């Protein structure tokens, strides 16, 4: 027996049109109501515009714009950058709640188109999604690549990189010229981190890498409209994609050259039963071949050993190694150079603090026989307090970036999944709720008896008012390296030279911030006139 078919319902054209319009209106009304209900649960937000959201409100540097908006909307606010929804935390209390209660749920990192390119599709640890692979890479970074033992073993590499810096400043002094401290510090930081990665890299490779590291860092930190406005995707309106492709090709070729050179050196070392290096691949003054000597493992040695480890829980690929190196050199070069620069500028602008730092160094390093080094830091508490005060006012990364992986509730507001979470580290370090006279440069606050005595650069427990290296799972793993290298470089510059502002009627250094890149750098080059304090000038190593 056949199943009876329903009769078709015949409607006139006018009826169809009315039904269609009614359906669209009902859907639109339902969307508006849902959006209104959702918006009622989101943090406060300024008025936005279609398509671009609040992009028109952002003025670089972004951390200052967020701070100004927070003054009107509160320490937790919602903004929309094109199609990207974001929440911004601007106080220590909100940061504590986010990291203490929801660290796992905000453990993702926003990956831009250019960051994806340079991280080999998130093959490194900086942009890899929170997962067992990320946990392995993070553990590898903390326990081996940037562990205290590795940082200590590579101290001679950093010490050797200091010599060209001091010689360049001394040469400027002898010529009676101002020293471009900014340029010299960038060259020093790049050379130091590259030698830590591959201590036996040929000199030509290290020299080429310095310029490329700067380019990679600037591109990763560049604002790319394609990341936020879908209508612009694929157009490369700013030319960033084509520029980045060229830089990536050159940097990838350089990384391949470094890795192949290391593999060949390791193979030669294995044939001799030990690890050896060729000292800078250069002939000595007599023209003889470079000598070999036993050495400590550098970062590339550690990564290659892990790649060869068949028992490792995660197998490292060549892309993992390249991305790992990119993460280390981009995170450790510009930020450390900028911090030394800010610290020296603050000391020049505060002669009394400069005097105290120098007197402490001179008391520890007596006579003119040697230059202060990392081994002296435990006996230089005021220097370390000045370092912390510099980080409070000028954190290398002024905004900590996260992405929510699940819906969370913060202070009664809803933060949906896949929302960018920005923690304004710069604003937190200047919060008057925790810091007396917050914009003043006062290292004494970190000394015994001071209000911030005992605070460390990565928060533990409830001390989230000082977090220049972020916090939680995605906190910077290079804290130990920064705490060793940055104060030591500044100490050497202060011990070896008197400093004066090259130009300007006030005799003060201009402290205006740059509005380019991820690193909180100075806007203008630091030009200072150095005068040697030590005669004869001692050798660095």
Q: How far is CA 327 from CA 73, 379, 534, in A?
A: 35, 32, 38
| DSSP for residue 286 | T
For residue 58, with 0-12 CB atoms within 10 Å meaning exposed, 13-18 middle and 19 or more buried, which class applies?
Answer: middle
Decide if 321 contacts 307 (C-beta within 8 A).
Answer: yes
**Is there a contact between 493 and 168 (Cβ–Cβ < 8 Å)?**
no
Q: Which long-range contacts (CB under 8 A, 24 or more apart) does 302-308 make?
A: 302/144, 302/145, 302/150, 303/145, 304/259, 304/262, 304/263, 304/266, 306/140, 306/144
Q: How far apart are CA 372 and CA 375, in angstroms?
A: 8
Q: Which residues are known binding-site members?
A: 476
Instruction: Give the gyration radius of the chain's Cα atoms.
Output: 27
Q: Distances from the Cα of 310 to the Cαs of 53, 269, 304, in angstroms?
A: 50, 20, 12
CA-CA-CA-CA torsion sign (43, 458, 160, 173): positive
- Is the peptide bond preceding residue 61 cis, with omega within 30 degrees of 0? yes
Task: Specify the DSSP class assigned to residue 45.
Answer: -
In the DSSP assignment, the letter for residue 48 is -
CA 216 vs CA 182, 288, 372: distances in Å: 18, 37, 32
Binding residue positions for heme: 476
Length of the chain: 541
Q: 66 — phi, psi (to 5°)?
A: -60, -40
């Amino acid at each position: 027996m056949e199943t009876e078919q329903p009769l078709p319902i015949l409607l006139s054209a006018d009826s169809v049109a009315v039904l269609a319009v009614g359906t669209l209106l009902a859907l639109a009304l339902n969307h508006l109501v849902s959006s209104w209900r959702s918006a009622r649960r989101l943090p406060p937000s300024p008025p936005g515009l279609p398509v671009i959201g609040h992009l028109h409100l952002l003025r670089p540097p972004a951390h200052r714009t967020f701070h100004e908006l927070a003054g009107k909307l509160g320490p937790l606010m919602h903004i929309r950058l094109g199609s990207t929804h974001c929440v911004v935390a601007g106080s220590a209390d909100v940061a504590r709640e986010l990291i203490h209660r929801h660290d796992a749920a905000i453990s993702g990192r926003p990956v831009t188109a250019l960051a994806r390119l340079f991280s080999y599709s998130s093959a490194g640890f900086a942009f890899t999604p929170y997962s067992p692979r990320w946990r392995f890479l993070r553990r590898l970074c903390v326990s081996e690549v940037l562990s205290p033992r590795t940082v200590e073993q590579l101290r001679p590499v950093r010490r050797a990189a200091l010599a060209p810096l001091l010689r360049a400043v001394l040469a400027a002094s002898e010529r009676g010229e101002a020293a471009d401290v900014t340029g010299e510090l960038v060259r020093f930081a790049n050379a130091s981190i590259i030698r830590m990665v591959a201590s036996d890299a040929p000199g030509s490779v290290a020299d080429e890498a310095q310029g490329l590291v700067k380019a990679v860092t600037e591109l990763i930190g560049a604002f790319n409209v394609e990341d936020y406005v879908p209508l612009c995707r694929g157009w490369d309106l700013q030319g960033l994609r084509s520029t980045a492709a060229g830089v990536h090709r050159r940097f990838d070729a350089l990384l391949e050259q470094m890795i192949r050179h290391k593999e060949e050196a390791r193979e030669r070392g294995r044939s001799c039963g030990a690890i050896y290096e060729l000292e800078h691949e250069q002939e000595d003054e007599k023209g003889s071949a470079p000598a070999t000597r036993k050495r400590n493992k550098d970062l590339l040695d550690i990564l290659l050993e892990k790649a060869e480890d068949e028992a490792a829980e995660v197998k490292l690929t060549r892309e993992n190694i390249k991305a790992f190196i990119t993460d280390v050199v981009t995170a450790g070069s510009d930020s450390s150079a900028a911090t030394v620069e800010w610290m020296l500028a603050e000391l020049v602008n505060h002669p009394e603090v400069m005097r105290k730092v120098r007197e402490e160094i001179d008391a520890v390093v007596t006579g003119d026989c040697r230059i202060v080094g990392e081994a002296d830091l435990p006996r230089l508490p005021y220097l370390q307090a000045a370092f912390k005060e510099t980080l409070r006012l000028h954190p290398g990364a002024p905004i900590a970036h996260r992405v929510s992986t699940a819906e969370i509730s913060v202070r009664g507001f809803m933060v949906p999944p896949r929302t960018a979470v920005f923690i304004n580290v710069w604003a937190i370090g200047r919060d008057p709720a925790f810091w007396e006279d917050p914009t003043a440069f006062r290292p004494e606050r970190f000394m015994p008896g001071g209000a911030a005595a005992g605070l460390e650069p990565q928060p533990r427990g409830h001390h989230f008012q000082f977090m220049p290296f972020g916090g939680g799972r995605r906190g910077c793993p290079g804290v130990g390296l920064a705490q060793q290298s940055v104060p030591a470089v500044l100490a050497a510059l202060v011990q070896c030279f008197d400093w004066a502002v090259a130009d300007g009627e006030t005799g003060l250094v201009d402290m205006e911030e740059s509005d380019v890149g991820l690193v909180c750098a100075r806007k203008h080059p630091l030009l200072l006139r150095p005068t040697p304090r030590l005669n004869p000038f001692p050798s660095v190593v």
